[in-house]
Structure formats: C-alpha cells, structure tokens
Structure 1
Amino acid sequence: MNTVTQLVREFSGQEFSQEPSADRLLAASRAMADHYARMEHAIVVLSDLRANTSRIWYGGFSRTLGLASPGEPREVSSIWEEEIFRLIHPDDLARKHLQELCFFHFIKNQPRRRRGDYCLMSRLRMKTATHGYMPVLHRMFYIADPAHAAQRLAMCLYGPLFFEMPSACLVVDWIDGHTEELEVPRTSKILSPRETQILRLIDRGLTSKEIASMLSISIHTVSRHRQEILGKLQVKNSIEACRLAKDLRLL
C-alpha cells in the first residue's frame, strides 16, 4: 500500500460532523485562504476531506510556476492538487506525502484544543515557468474544530523559500515558536516499543507461536499486539503493516 492510499484510507475513515457549525467553519476557512493568497501572494489549497474536494486560490506566486493567473479560486473534485503536484520534484513529492501521513498521526495525538496550533513546514523543489527548479516553502495546517475529533479541513500554502531551513521538514508550534523535526521523533511514536519489536519479528517471518516463545509472552498477547499494529497503521494484514512501517521508517 503506498502512502497516498494510506492517507486516503485514514482521511475517509474518520467520523465527520454533519452539524451546521462544521459548514460555518468551512466558510470561515475559505475567507482565510483568500486572505493568504492576497496578502502573501501564495498558492493556497483548501481541501475538504469529508466532501473529497478542494478549492485553489492562485496568488501572485502562481505566475512564477506558470500556473493560472491570480483571480477567482478554482474548484477541484479531489483532495489532491495534481496540477501543483506535477511541478514538484518526484523525490520531494513522495517525501511530502509521507511527511503528511506522519503529521496526521501527530495531530491526532494532540489535545483537540491544541490541534490548530501546529503547522507542517517543508522544503520542496518545484519547476518554474522557465522549466528550472526553485526552492519552495510548503506549509500545511489542519483547521481544527475543538468540538469534533475528525480533521475535516486541511490547508496547504506554496510560496518562495527565502530563508535557510534547519531541516527539510519541521513541525512548528505557532503558540511558542517551538520547532521539531518531524520524521524521526514523531514517526517513532506511532507504535509502542513492544509493537515495533513484534513487527520486526513478523517481518523476519516468525509465527505468533515463535514470537511468543522468544519474548516469553502468551500467543494471546502476541495476537493482541498484532491487532493493535494493524489498527494503528490502518492496514488489513501483516504484510501491508511491514511495508508501511518501512515507508514510515519505523523498521
């Protein structure tokens, strides 16, 4: 299972609110996106994970990339801004999706009242209108609704990178300015140390009985850990779990 498929499964597996307040938040978020595009000249993508749609605002930076001229936002019947993805260096695009999966897990583990305080900030290479690559700053926010657990709205901003980033990808706390590299410390928290240990043994081809004997635990305990691993990684079987864990650098 690739990272995009995993993201789609996790997004669509949420229990979204149908209350009017959720639609009011969508309207407010659209106004916010419009302001970002106008003030920062950024390309802004607001994705509605419940409706599987996006709205794209083309700030002045879009001219640099050879995209649509600034004007009215465009509706897309997908949460993926493929028009923009085609301009991202292939290596950076694969890494971007993986980072977003890790960030989604990070956000889910935060208190609801704090989920809107964090931003994923990453460095990308994007092809310009003259067909060369330039450094671009990508920022991603989940627009939190403290009353509901599901993350319905995601906002991505693309603009020129005009400063040196200490890392290719950071999680930024906008409240206190704290930054932390995403990839190693955050992904390691998806699985517990025992779950990681058991998944390593599964990846080596050991059976539940062999794992139980090696770790001096019951087969029932091994089975319980297996189910926890599948649930946390949102996969159907151990083969998919091992493959995804490797993609996330858990193994």
Structure 2
Amino acid sequence: MDVIHKLNDELLKQKFTKEQEWSARLDECKQIALSYARIENSIAVLSDMKTNTSYIFYGGVAERLGLAKRSTTKIIHSIWEEEIFSRIHPDDLLEKHLQELRFFNFLKTVPKKERTDYYIANNIRMRDGSGLYVQVLHRMFYIASQSDGSIRLALCLYNLSTNASFGNIIINSADGCILESETQTANNILSGREKEVLQLIDKGKMSKEIASVLSISINTVNRHRQNILEKLHVDNSIEACRIAKGLNLF
C-alpha cells in the first residue's frame, strides 16, 4: 500500500464546502500553533487540507535539530513538510503515516462534535544538525472541521522526547482515555458477526449469499448491514469496507 497516496486521497479529496468566517477560524488556529512554538519550543505545523498549504512555526527545537532559527515561520504549498520528513528515520516515517491514516479513519467513527477531543502521539527518531538521531515526541490534532464533517485543519507538534518507550497511542484529551493506535480499540466497534458479514460484503457477496454462508436469515443479514453503516457512520457498504480496512478490522 502506498500510504502517502492513500493519505493524500483521504485528506485532500474531502468534499469541502464554502463557509463564512473561515478566514477568522484559520487565523485563530495560526495563533494556537504560534503559541505552541513559543511556549513549548515546538516545531508547530498547521496544515490546511482544502488549500493544500502548511504554516510552520519554529520554536527552540528547530534550532536543536538544525532546521531553522527559533521564532521564524514558513509557508509551504503542501500538507507534507518534506524538510521535516527528510530528518525522520524511514521506519518511523512510515509508521507515522500509517498511524495518521488509522487515526483519520478512526475519527469517522466518532461523533463530529467529539472529534477535536482526540489526538495521536508517538515517538520518532529524527536526525539533528550533526546527523545523529534523537528522540522526538510527535503529536497531531485535527483541530478544525467544517459543518459538513470534512476535517480541514491539522496541527502537528514536534518536541524533544524524554521517554523513549512512548508508543503509538490515541488520547482523548477530554477524559484522559488512552487507546492503542495499532488497534484503536476498533475491534470493539463491530461485533464478531458484523465483521463476518462485512468481510463477505467486501468479497462481493449479496445478502442472500451471506445468509447461506452464515446460516442466518436474510433479514438478520440486512439488520447487520444497517448496524454496520450506523456504527461506522457511512452511507454505503463500499465506504464501510474502506473504513473497516483502515481500522484494521479485517
């Protein structure tokens, strides 16, 4: 799987609508990113998926890594900060992108009003100015969605890490709940039978065929199909299969 292209499709091809007051919202989020850079000495990257633009704010960590002077800023016409990515260990970069893809699909299963409660965190290795790898804590928040549910703004933060054992996790900042990123407790989203039904749907089976394979009634199959759509917050089986794969349900 080409993770970058998959993420690109997921993030940039959302159906964004034109909304009033969005300029003020963007300015507000820029100030949030700037505050992280100033207070935590983070490298803060605010990415706008609709315009495919990133705003980078450099704190003291940028100087430690030899990337830029602190208190400087940069705008790039891409949501991919390649200069930063080039410093990340290749294995960690791949896992970072996989985690972000899983997280994006996970958020689709969360009510819209709760999506900004969650963020991901993981340790990555980044080369400093002398070429040595140092431990860096990476965090990412989807901090602004549009009224249609499309996720428009993402904030990535890079700080020096003091805990090398820190794993890939999703954190609910509202209640402190921690989910393991690899599974995201996604196995609990669908029942065992619903997963079986969805796997057969993914193989092109019709409801009648699924009923025969699983030795259940067609009405039961249709009820499972409806439950799957509701639990995954999608409108059709194709979307359900796509999201289920992103969540590693099968």
Q: Can you list the C-alpha shifts for 1:146-201, whole angstroms capped at 9, x where unaligned?
A: 74411100000001111365x51111122222222122134436766446435656
Give SS of 1:36's match: helix
Specify the code of the residue in structure 2 equivalent to 1:126: M
Matched, 1:3 2:11: no
Q: Which moved more, 1:140-149 or 1:43-52?
A: 140-149
Matched, 1:57 2:57: yes
Matched, 1:232 2:232: no
1:188 & 1:200 partners in 2: Cα distance? 14
CA contact (8 A) 1:3 1:97 kept: yes
2:239 & 2:111 partners in 1: Cα distance? 20
Name the structure 1 match of 2:172. 173
Give SS of 1:144's match: strand
Name the structure 1 match of 2:159. 159
Q: Residues 146 and 50 of structure 1: is their aligned pair in 2 closer, same or farther, counting only changes over 3 Å?
A: closer
Give 5+ residue unaligned stretches, structure 2. 229-234
1:159 & 1:40 partners in 2: Cα distance? 8
The correspondence of residues 64-79 of structure 1 with structure 2, limited to 5 A, is 64-79=64-79
1:141 & 1:46 partners in 2: Cα distance? 10
CA contact (8 A) 1:113 1:146 kept: no
Give SS of 1:87's match: coil
Pairwise CA distance, 1:40: 1.0
Give SS of 1:20's match: coil
Name the structure 2 match of 1:214. 213
Q: Residues 120 and 145 of structure 1: is their aligned pair in 2 closer, same or farther, counting only changes over 3 Å?
A: same
Pairwise CA distance, 1:109: 2.2
Pairwise CA distance, 1:104: 1.1
Name the structure 1 match of 2:26. 26
1:20 & 1:85 partners in 2: Cα distance? 34
Specify the code of the residue in structure 2 equivalent to 1:53: T
The correspondence of residues 99-114 of structure 1 with structure 2, limited to 5 A, is 99-114=99-114
Q: Can you list the C-alpha shifts for 1:21-40, whole angstroms capped at 9, x where unaligned?
A: 22211110011111111111
Number of residue-to-residue matches in the alignment: 240
CA contact (8 A) 1:105 1:190 kept: no
Specify the code of the residue in structure 2 equivalent to 1:170: I
Give SS of 1:149's match: coil
